[in-house]
């Protein structure tokens, strides 16, 4: 008996749709790319219910013939590829020929289109991949595509969609990526009949400012490099504008947004020493590379690219960013590879004098009266405290301003001071939240923070939790005005705290955590001591005491070790 059979076309399309169309933002991405390839100079995107009810994209591109409209919803139908070799010479956005057929299989589609040289347009209605209507119609030049009731026939996929705020945030991000890559195109975004973005055609810098906020303009540093392998242009933000969130990191290759942790690392390395290790620089960088030296056909979403000369591009990108930081007097200009003692001024008339070395002829290293070197002189990284300042039971010392070493009877306890402080604060804030013990301090002068609409959406998502802990604020377009803050926090650190809360929310989206937990994590992370900070005896005692009062003293809120215990048995084993 035969058990293998061909799948029906509609089932095959629904399976393919699962790879290409994961959520409403996936539809937005594919439709925007098609509009770009049509040569449109203006693109309008209308969204209802975060794309679950309606996604409508209207462009003034070249339009389609009646035959093209019918073919565009067929699987593997594309105008971009004729032969397999074309895959390695791609400069267009959509090229797989799967998107429209995948979308048609899981939604109701209405397409109206007209070519520039035609007097009449054409309309096509499709439900679940089946054509319901096709006829001539009166319409404007270009194409309008309406995607209604997404995933109506795949209820399992629809059930796994997130809240409207989260899905709209993904749509906004996809729209922003396309808008940044194509500043010469006029673009409009509205949600539930409310205008979100209206972007006129502009240069790249102005497009960044229009999307991120006017304050970004003074932070942007241009970068430019042209080589036989890659041309690099765009902007990096000054180190003092680095954030705890990764949101403002945009890397484009031949006009396509890509994700490349390898190339991002090249940028991070250029900023090394200029920003704290837990902060991220903002960048908006365009790479132009010969398409024959790329493979963008390795992932259905086309956000991952394989480079032929990845290491060389890494080096060029890193040196370009580093040079721009230096040119604009942002990074130190000292050459740390050169020994300054060898610098000689050749124009000086002052005679060069041989240095003299003072020798103590009476010194005898074997003399028992010779000066004894103290342990402090051996290692200046360890700060010892005088015995008369210590408790009878405990002795403390600090190593590299990062670790607390505590001696207790036959044990040595090593404490990571920052992680320990985070654990203490985390349990403190969790306790306050449980007991509803938060209070506010009213600000005499409200604090205004400029942020992306994407981050404003996150603030709105956790509005209740923020107000419960003592925040009072007004959130509007790209702006957060804070009027009151929690009594435990400091006014000067509020912007950093808000950024940390947003970053914690983004990180913990991958792990199922409730919003209260996320905020407690953010508060603990933002308000803890520095990674390396000098502590006096009382401060070390305080951290030690409070840590061991915690429910989980041995791990930080992020799950890393806070304490290492060594007893005499452990130590003796090391010497066996």
CATH number at residue 573: 3.30.1370.100
Indicate whether 145 pLDDT > 80.
yes
Residue 356 in domain: no
Residue 389 in domain: yes
Whether residue 532 sits in one domain with residue 386: yes
Q: How many domains does the chain have?
A: 3
The confidence score (pLDDT) of residue 353 equals 57
Whether residue 494 sits in one domain with residue 479: yes
Question: How many H helices and E strands in the chain?
Answer: 17, 23
The confidence score (pLDDT) of residue 373 equals 38
Sheet (strand 130-137) strand order: 130-137, 121-127, 108-114, 142-148, 54-59, 42-48, 186-191, 194-199
Whether residue 269 sits in one domain with residue 226: yes
CATH number at residue 309: 3.30.230.10
Whether residue 530 sits in one domain with residue 467: yes
Helix residue ranges per DSSP H, 213-333? 261-270, 310-327
Residue 574 in domain: yes
User: pLDDT averaged over the chain?
Assistant: 80
Whether residue 64 sits in one domain with residue 191: yes
Q: How does pLDDT run across 58-117, given as a tens digit for each residue? A: 999 999 999 989 988 887 666 654 444 444 455 555 544 578 888 988 999 999 999 988
Domain final residue pick, 201, 231, 248: 201
Indicate whether this model's pTM tops 0.85: no
Indicate whether 170 pLDDT > 50.
yes
Residue 369 in domain: no
Whether residue 223 sits in one domain with residue 159: no
Cβ neighbourhood burial of 250 (10 Å; 0-12, 13-18, 19+): buried
Residue 210 in domain: yes
Residue 3 in domain: no
Poorest-confidence range of 314-328, 386-400, 414-428, 533-547? Answer: 386-400
Residue 354 in domain: no
Q: Tokens representing 440?
A: 């506010």
Domain final residue pick, 201, 216, 237: 201
Residue 72 near residue 100 (C-beta atoms within 8 A): yes
Contacts (Cβ under 8 Å, ≥6 apart) of 7:
15
Residue 152 in domain: yes
Whether residue 182 sits in one domain with residue 220: no
Poorest-confidence range of 192-201, 434-443, 482-491? Answer: 434-443
Whether residue 136 sits in one domain with residue 210: no
Whether residue 183 sits in one domain with residue 238: no
Q: Which domain holds residue 236?
A: 205-327
Residue % of the chain over a pLDDT of 70: 79
CATH number at residue 13: 3.30.565.10
Cβ neighbourhood burial of 94 (10 Å; 0-12, 13-18, 19+): buried
Half-sphere exposure of 318 (CA within 13 A, CB side): 15
Q: How does pLDDT run across 187-217, given as a tens digit for each residue? A: 999 999 989 899 999 999 999 999 888 778 8
Looking up tokens 């090229």 gives 95
Domain final residue pick, 156, 185, 201: 201
Whether residue 391 sits in one domain with residue 314: no
User: 375: pLDDT confidence band, cut at 50, 70 and 90?
Assistant: very low
Q: How does pLDDT run across 524-550, given as a tens digit for each residue? A: 887 888 888 888 888 998 998 999 888
Whether residue 146 sits in one domain with residue 255: no
Indicate whether 377 pLDDT > 50.
no
Helix residue ranges per DSSP H, 379-493? 417-434, 453-461, 463-468
Of 204, 241, 144, 171, the closest CA to residue 23 belongs to 171
Q: Tokens representing 180?
A: 């940044």
Whether residue 423 sits in one domain with residue 569: yes
Rg of the Cα trace of the chain? Answer: 31
């Amino acid at each position: 008996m035969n058990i293998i059979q061909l799948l029906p076309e509609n089932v095959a399309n629904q399976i393919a749709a699962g790879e290409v169309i994961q959520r409403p933002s996936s539809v937005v991405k594919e439709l925007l790319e098609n509009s770009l390839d049509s040569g449109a100079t203006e693109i309008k995107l209308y969204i209802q219910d975060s794309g679950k009810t309606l996604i409508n994209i209207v462009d003034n591109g070249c339009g389609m013939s009646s035959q093209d409209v019918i073919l565009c919803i067929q699987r593997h139908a594309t105008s971009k590829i004729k032969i397999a070799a074309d895959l390695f010479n791609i400069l267009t956005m959509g090229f797989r020929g799967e998107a429209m057929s995948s979308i048609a299989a899981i939604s109701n589609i209405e397409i109206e289109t007209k070519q520039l040289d035609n007097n009449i347009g054409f309309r096509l209605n499709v439900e679940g991949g089946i054509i319901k209507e096709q006829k001539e119609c009166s319409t404007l030049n270009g194409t309008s595509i309406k995607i209604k009731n997404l995933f109506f026939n795949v209820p399992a996929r629809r059930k796994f969609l997130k809240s409207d705020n989260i899905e709209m945030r993904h749509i906004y991000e996809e729209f922003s990526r396309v808008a940044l890559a194509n500043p010469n195109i006029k673009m409009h975004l509205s949600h539930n009949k409310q205008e979100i973005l209206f972007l006129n055609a502009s240069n790249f810098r102005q497009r960044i400012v229009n999307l991120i906020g006017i304050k970004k303009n003074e932070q942007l540093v241009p970068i430019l490099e042209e080589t036989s392998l890659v041309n690099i242009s765009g902007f990096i933000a000054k180190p003092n504008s680095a954030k705890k969130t990764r949101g403002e990191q945009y890397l484009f290759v031949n006009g396509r947004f890509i994700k490349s942790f390898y190339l991002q690392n090249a940028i991070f390395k250029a900023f090394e020493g200029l920003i704290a290790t837990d902060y991220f620089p903002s960048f908006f960088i365009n790479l132009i590379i010969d398409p024959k030296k790329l493979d963008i056909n390795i992932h259905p979403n086309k956000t991952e690219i394989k480079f032929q000369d990845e290491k060389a591009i890494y080096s060029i990108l890193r040196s370009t960013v580093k040079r721009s930081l230096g040119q604009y007097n942002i990074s130190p200009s000292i050459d740390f590879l050169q020994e300054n003692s060898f610098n000689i001024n050749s124009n000086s008339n002052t005679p060069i004098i041989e240095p003299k070395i003072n020798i103590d002829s009476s010194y005898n290293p074997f003399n028992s009266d010779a000066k004894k070197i103290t342990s402090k002189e051996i290692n200046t990284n360890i700060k010892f405290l005088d015995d008369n300042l210590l408790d009878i039971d405990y002795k403390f010392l600090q190593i590299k301003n990062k670790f607390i070493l505590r001696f207790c009877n036959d044990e040595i306890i090593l404490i990571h001071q920052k992680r320990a402080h985070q654990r203490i604060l985390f349990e403190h804030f969790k306790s306050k939240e449980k007991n509803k013990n938060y209070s506010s301090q009213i600000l005499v002068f409200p604090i205004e923070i400029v942020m992306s609409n994407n981050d404003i959406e996150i603030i709105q998502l956790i509005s209740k939790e923020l107000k419960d802990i003592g925040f009072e604020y007004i959130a509007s377009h790209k702006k957060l005005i804070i009027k009151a803050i929690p009594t435990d926090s400091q006014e000067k650190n509020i912007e950093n705290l808000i950024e940390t809360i947003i970053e914690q929310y983004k990180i913990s989206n991958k792990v199922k955590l409730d919003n209260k937990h996320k905020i407690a994590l953010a508060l603990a992370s933002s308000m803890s001591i520095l990674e390396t900070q000098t502590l006096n005896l009382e401060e070390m005692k305080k951290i030690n005491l409070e840590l061991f009062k915690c429910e989980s003293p041995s791990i930080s809120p992020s799950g890393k070790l806070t304490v290492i215990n060594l007893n005499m048995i452990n130590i003796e084993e090391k010497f066996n």
